[in-house]
Structure 1
Amino acid sequence: MAWCLRPDQLSWGPIVLARRLLAVAVIFTAVGAVTTLPAAATSSARQPAGRTALAWPPMCVDISNNRGNGTLMYQWQCDSNNTNQRFVIDNGLIKVEDTIGKSQVMCLDSSNGRTNGTRVYQWQCLGNANQLWVVQRGAIILKSTLNSGNPLCLDVTNGRGNSTQVYLWQCGSTNTNQKFVINNGQIAVKDTLS
């Protein structure tokens, strides 16, 4: 339906004009009410008192489906049935659970990098310094840097979405990118948990 007027239609009397304007106002009000209803019923409106809705789902450390040396560590939406997210901490080594008992057990590894931005990946467990970790107050710290004056922690710096890479970064006690919860084999990013 077109909303244009011809010049001969502009000579309405005050009563006709008022009725037509009222009809248009009713239509716009109804359309506005319908389009704003979903916004009023958002999930944050239904949260229990004292809680806020999270902007992202729970996220966990994940290694994709590849069990080869050099596979990068990422963050991915937590799934308790996903073997890519299951780890065992054993004498400082963080082992990929489904490789335990196989010919090549895989561990979290930081290569030989000791700087911010060093990528973390999986590598055959050798017990080297780049595979030894310490968990303290929710931070996962590369053990060889613990007393260096510049300790390095696992970090998910670039957001909370799937495929965000896990790096080493200088530990900061208030840095939420470096706080994890280890539960039932999963390493979850703490600030994504409700």
Structure 2
Amino acid sequence: MLLARHLLAGVAVAVVSASTVLPAAAATAAAHLPAPDTLTHDAPVCLDATKSRTNGTKVQLWQCVGNANQRFVIDNGLIKVEDTAGTATPMCLDATKSRTNGAQVQLWQCVSNTNQLWVIRRGEIVIKDTIDTASPMCLDVGNSRANGTKVRLWKCMNNANQKFVIYDGKIKLQDTLA
């Protein structure tokens, strides 16, 4: 019986010790994680509206971290920054008036004009007024997957840099998903 008590006491000490070591080990592991802006593209990248909510703000790629600036709502062809939807000044993805390769994509107050109406087709996000033309224009990210890469328009080519997955409010570049 005495041996059983000593064994039980030893097991209890081991369990308590293990439970106090785990949080310290977890804290050490977390301390070694790189900062979000230095992570590689081995993780998914998302469309990112930055923190600014002013007309003309450039839309970029950024590693998906779940911030409000990476969450969008699609509403009647408008792609709205989620935290502005339902406010007095909802902000939308806007293609400007240019329909040339490399034209910027920006945020602009939602006014439902042709610059802001999009269609999602086979993973491509196409500016609606170009669909039935000889050169439909898609959201495009070029060859870079780095944080801060500007999102632009480019003739739809069915390439990986124009393929997106929309899930849980995030617009992710498909070729960065595992």
Alignment TM-score > 0.5, same fold: yes
Work out which of the residue numbers 35, 53, 76 in structure 2 matches 1:91: 76
Q: Which has the larger radius of gyration?
A: 1
User: Aligned equivalents of 2:103 and 2:65: distance in 1?
Assistant: 26
Q: Equivalences for 1:23-34 in 2 at 5 Å?
A: none
Q: Residue 92 of structure 1: CA displacement? A: 0.3
Q: Equivalences for 1:179-194 in 2 at 5 Å?
A: 179-194=163-178
**3-state SS of 2:161 partner:** helix
How many residue pairs align between the two structures?
Answer: 139
Contiguous gaps of at least 5 residues in structure 2: 1-39
The amino acid of 1:67's aligned partner reads: R
Q: Residue 180 of structure 1: CA displacement? A: 0.2
Q: Percent identity?
A: 55
TM-score of the aligned structures, taking structure 1 as reference length: 0.70
User: Aligned equivalents of 1:177 and 1:79: distance in 2?
Assistant: 20
Contiguous gaps of at least 5 residues in structure 1: 1-53
Residue number in structure 2 paired with 1:61: 47
**3-state SS of 1:165 partner:** coil
User: Aligned equivalents of 1:142 and 1:99: distance in 2?
Assistant: 21
Residue number in structure 1 paired with 2:160: 176
Residue number in structure 1 paired with 2:29: none
Q: RMSD over aligned Cα, in angstroms?
A: 1.1
Residue number in structure 1 paired with 2:109: 124
The amino acid of 1:164's aligned partner reads: T
User: Aligned equivalents of 2:44 and 2:86: distance in 1?
Assistant: 29
User: Aligned equivalents of 1:111 and 1:95: distance in 2?
Assistant: 15
User: Aligned equivalents of 2:86 and 2:138: distance in 1?
Assistant: 28
User: Aligned equivalents of 2:97 and 2:111: distance in 1?
Assistant: 13
